[in-house]
Amino acid sequence: MAFYLHRLGRTAARHAWAVILTWALLLALTATAAITLGRPFTTKLTIPGTEFQTVIDNLEKNFPKAAAGTGVIVISTTDGNAFTADQKKTIGELTAAWSRIDGVDTADDPFTLQTKMDAAAAQIADGRGKTTAARQQLDAGQAQLDTARQRLDTDKERAAGQELPPALQQELAAAETALAAQKKQLDAARHELTSKESELSHAERRLALMDGFRTINTAQNTVLTQVTFDKPLIDVPAATKDAVPAAAGDLAKNGLKIDYSTAIVEKISLLGPGELIGVGVATLVLIVMLGSLLAAGLPLISALVGVAVGLLGVIALTHWVDMTDVTPALALMLGLAVGIDYSLFLVNRHREQLARGTETVESIARATGTAGSAVLFAGLTVVVALCALTLTGIPFLATMGFAAAATVLIAVLIALTLTPALLRLIGPRVLSPRARRTLAEKLATEDSEADAEDAEENIPGHPHHRHHGWGGLVTRHPLVVLALTTVLLSVLAAPSLSLRLGLPDGSYEPHDSTAYRTYDTTDRHFGPGRNGPVIAVATLNTTRSQETSTDTAREELTLAVGEQLKKTPGVAYVLPIGASEDRRTLAYQVVPTTGPSEPATADLITTLRHTRDDIITGQRLDHIGFTGQTVANIDISRSLAAALPLYLVVVVGISLVLLLLVFRSIVVPVLATAGFLLSVAAAFGSVVAVYQWGWLAGIFGVDHPGLILSFLPTLVIGILFGLAMDYQMFLVSGMREAWAHGHTARTAVHTGFSHGARVVTAAALIMTAVFASFVHAQLTMIRPIGFALAAGVLIDAFVVRMTAMPAVMYLLGDKAWYIPGWLDRLLPDLDVEGTTLTAEENPERHAPQDSPRNHPSDRPPAP
């Protein structure tokens, strides 16, 4: 592999402008594709086969009006007083304007709706009084009729067997006719009254179902309304959503303030102040490390080009593939971090070789063959881990993985092609002015080889530096170091035992955002459950549908199902939405007593599903299912939690196999994988402490500690795995290279550590800065991901790889490199460290190819 990358680096350096123009053309093409093909990202998360998805799909098909998207709007008075008549008029005119927007189906006037509900309640109370009086009158009339009937029957009995005068016969017949007429009138009145009582009973029952639902708060200073679109929210154009706040204009002049839910106003900004600060910190680290502004700018340029190509490609793909709003943010974050680091590894190796007097093009080629080999391996490791997200069986997570993997792959290609081309254009200016003067003086002397030896002593990794610094400290007291790191990692990981997964709702938005104000106002004035209603969908078979074909029968069934739903503990009230055109689908809005992210709400969903058989049996339904954003969040979180163990096992398996191939050791892969698991556990614990428990919440901008993003563990495992392998490669590969070329195992630990520590430190700081910059991102979902990755990188790089790993490798000595002879012969030689190229560069510094050091079975034991 190193040989082919060496040739690639040489070709890129010799044809620098061709490479640069190729990438420029590719950037232009992806930009054009993104502009012409790109579609908006979505906040909708779907998992085919889950109940919530099946129910919503059927609802969209059979009852599309009930599946239409909605956006919540709250309007309050600025002074806190009750609405004036003029303010009510302004709000009424505004809702009428919203209704006229193309793509909006309805927008209810909250005052009109509340007035209708209050009037209906009054009419029901009045109607109940009237029907009671009418029933009393009817009973009195029936009593009179019964008395008259008894008298008439008595007269007939007396006259029986007697010949009555015609006049008396006519009188009895007339009385019979009159009684029959009265009975008919009473029966008609009774039927009419019964019908009215039935209607009144239905109205009372419906009102009881909805008890607690209001559009105006009790203080009369806040209203809640919603805009209902004519299609599902995912299909609503951005222009339609934007038209809603645009129609409102400035209401402050009317003494009103208005806020909108995320369904209406959510805007995604990929680059904000925090992200730019992260790039600035990365630049500062590069300048300090490289000592040259020009050299520091090269990794940044490479990374930005790679991120631009990757992101524009992702945007273009939205024409064919629906992507969540987290997808581009994740691709940006990961692409920027690895793009800088991968380019830095090549630049650093090239600078070291130039300082030893290597010719520029040859140095670029060797840097690509050596450091480039490690970059390719590390990048492909990240790509494999991200692509393995498909194993979870969750499409939106797989899409995130593919998009991020594509961006990482582009970063690798940029590092292996564009970076060598840019290095060729920069030439010796990649070195600091001081380093260039030192190099010029060295080349000017007659004894250049001696000077090269002196110069080499200043290169990190030279034996002169091996037993000094951090590496020397951790190997002088390895047992103490291991004990301390174990305690530290255990303490950091402990909070992860209480990890609770979920998806964020409006309460997780920044406190100064309109989405949070909408959520908070709704919670305080209209109840927490109003922020997360559950949609219940009852389906009828053909027979039951025919039985309820009349309005009365259908209303009776609608109310009966709703009443059974409301009996469930944790339900505040139930709003019947209506029936589909074929009358085979009934929909309800079930409002919980608790908020969407509270554990009690998840318990309610479980209870509803466990008790629905009683409703199905009692009302002879075909099925009843539950959906809505709250149910979707719960189901998605459970699905992700169930898929996590399998993904973790796969990632660990990949880690063991890849590291076995690279390091040709049984012990090192196990140590590296164990370190990765400890890093992940510590990162999860840190996330729980901050985002669930609220520790240091103010510093990290956590306004509402609560659930942890449900797909965070899966993503963090995949990404941290790849990054951990990066640091493992650049630190331990140096140890293996030194050991393979004749150093003792313990000396090799010092050599490899001092050679890679500086660049790994810079790379880890850069990556941490980039990830940490997303902690205050505008997109709420990306914040804990950025924090988890920043914490994970810090822990893995500085605690695990640069502290615990050298200590345990020093303790193990030669045992760390043990591998059975048969397995060593069976494994392919990947030459990830670029050993053959290094041997060609300095053959006198390396053991011969037939050295016993190259045969694991012949290596001496550790001292």
User: How much is the pLDDT for 843?
Assistant: 42
650 pLDDT exceeds 70?
Answer: yes
Mean pLDDT of 189-210: 84
Task: Give residues with Cβ within 8 angstroms of 348, minimum separation 6.
Answer: 289, 290, 371, 758, 759, 762
pLDDT class of 439 with cuts at 50, 70, 90: low
436 pLDDT exceeds 80?
Answer: no
For the record, the structure tokens of 174 come out as: 């007339």
Give percent above pLDDT 70 in the chain: 91
Task: Give residues with Cβ within 8 angstroms of 863, minimum separation 6.
Answer: 744, 746, 813
Least trusted range by pLDDT, from 37-41, 229-233, 592-596:
37-41
Measured over the CA atoms of residue 382, residue 388, residue 394 and residue 398, the dihedral's sign is positive
332 vs 270: CA distance, rounded Å: 8
Query: pLDDT tens, 710-742?
Result: 889 998 998 898 888 878 888 887 888 788 777
Is the model more confident about 734 or about 599?
599
pLDDT class of 407 with cuts at 50, 70, 90: very high
Helix (H, G, I), strand (E, B) or coil at 74: strand
User: How much is the pLDDT for 27?
Assistant: 96
Query: DSSP string spanning 441-465?
Result: HHHHSS-HHHHHHHHHHTSTTSGGG
484 pLDDT exceeds 90?
Answer: yes
Burial class of residue 470 (count of CB atoms within 10 Å of its CB; 0-12, 13-18, 19+): middle
Decide if 726 contacts 339 (C-beta within 8 A): no
Query: pLDDT tens, 179-195?
Result: 888 888 888 887 887 77
Give percent above pLDDT 90 in the chain: 41
70 vs 385: CA distance, rounded Å: 37
Highest mean pLDDT among 486-490, 511-515, 627-631: 486-490
Task: Give residues with Cβ within 8 angstroms of 112, minimum separation 6.
Answer: 92
Mean pLDDT of 831-839: 61
360 vs 347: CA distance, rounded Å: 12
State pTM to two decimals: 0.81
414 vs 431: CA distance, rounded Å: 21
407 vs 389: CA distance, rounded Å: 15
643-819 topology per CATH: Multidrug efflux transporter AcrB transmembrane fold (1.20.1640)
The mean pLDDT of the chain is: 85
CA angle 580, 586, 591 (to 5 degrees): 130
**Domain ranges for the chain:** 119-157+167-197, 643-819
Helix (H, G, I), strand (E, B) or coil at 709: strand
Query: pLDDT tens, 142-186?
Result: 888 788 888 877 777 777 666 667 777 777 778 778 888 888 888
Beta strand pairing status for 623-627 and 501-502? unpaired
User: How much is the pLDDT for 102?
Assistant: 94
User: How much is the pLDDT for 450?
Assistant: 43
850 pLDDT exceeds 80?
Answer: no
588 φ, ψ (degrees, to nearest 5)? -135, 155
The closest alpha carbon to 252, from 510, 72, 75, belongs to: 75
HSE-CB at 372 with a 13 A cutoff on CA atoms is 28
Strand 256-260: give its sheet, edge to edge: 104-107, 222-229, 70-77, 256-260
For the record, the structure tokens of 740 come out as: 């393979």
835 pLDDT exceeds 90?
Answer: no
Mean pLDDT of 264-269: 69
User: How much is the pLDDT for 267?
Assistant: 60
User: How much is the pLDDT for 838?
Assistant: 57
Is the model more confident about 281 or about 691?
691
Helix (H, G, I), strand (E, B) or coil at 250: coil
Mean pLDDT of 561-585: 93
Buried-exposed string 592-625: b where 16+ CB fall within 10 A, e elsewhere? bbbbbbbeebbebbeebeeebeebbeebebeebb
In the block, tokens 């391996």 appear at 377
User: What is the signed CA dihedral for 377, 383, 386, 391, rounded to 10 degrees?
Assistant: -90
